Amino acid sequence: MRRYQTYIFDLDGTLLDTLGDLHASCNHALRSHGMPERSLDEVRRFVGNGVKKLMERAIPNGMDNPLFEETYQSFRQHYLLHNLDTTKPYPGIMEMLQKMKEQGKNVAVVSNKFYAATQELCRHFFGDLVTVAIGEREGIRKKPAPDTVMEALRQLDVPKEGSVYVGDSDVDIETARNCGIPCISVLWGFRDRAFLLGHGATTLIDSPQDLF
């Protein structure tokens, strides 16, 4: 596999297994507003485009539901309090990031998770192993638009040449394409091989150590 100088990672389903906490907060919000709860597999299918899209898919009639905004805010409030309950790095992630630091690689996280949660999770789990962490925020288009990745490159002060995006979803593949950089798709996350290949994946890896 080609080696890169700059690695930009998705967060959920790539570095962190966040599915349990997302599922719990989703169902807390739905339950609080008298809506049917969702299974773990349903939430797995719903994630990848940010938490607002997750809740749009989970709430009956989506954004047309008159209780959408209330329910979405209930999710946000619950998740900010409970996003560390079961979330943890996937096996091999910490060792991979440590090795990248030792090799002098540039490392950033770009997520469609809201900004505060992205920052908190990266600080808590990765400390100085991740230099830049960018989440969804006002005034900048989220993935698959290239804006947040290009902002990460700007903050790292590096060119897109020699950079790669690493993620677990079709959104990540499209994001990398829109940025004009390669994409490495991981097989331990929220989407399987058939799904990723069907959405244009060209390079797939089974383990974080496959990046070396």
pLDDT at 48 over 80: no
Average confidence (pLDDT) over 168-197: 96
Q: Which of 23-27, 132-136, 179-183 is predicted with the least confidence, judged by mean pLDDT? A: 132-136
pTM: 0.91
143 torsion bin: left (phi>0), alpha (psi -120 to 50), beta (else): beta
Query: DSSP assignment, residue 148?
Result: H
pLDDT at 50 over 90: no
Query: pLDDT category, 116, cuts 50, 70, 90?
Result: confident
pLDDT at 211 over 90: yes
HSE-CB of 3 using CA atoms within 13 angstroms: 7
Q: Which of 113-122, 156-165, 188-197, 200-209 is predicted with the least confidence, judged by mean pLDDT? A: 113-122
Q: Return the pLDDT at 136.
A: 87
Pick from 139, 206, 140, 149: which is nearest to 175 by CA? 149
Average confidence (pLDDT) over 166-178: 96
Q: Return the pLDDT at 114.
A: 84
The set of residues, in sequence order, having a beta carbon less than 8 Å from that of 101 and lying 6+ positions away, is 107, 128, 129
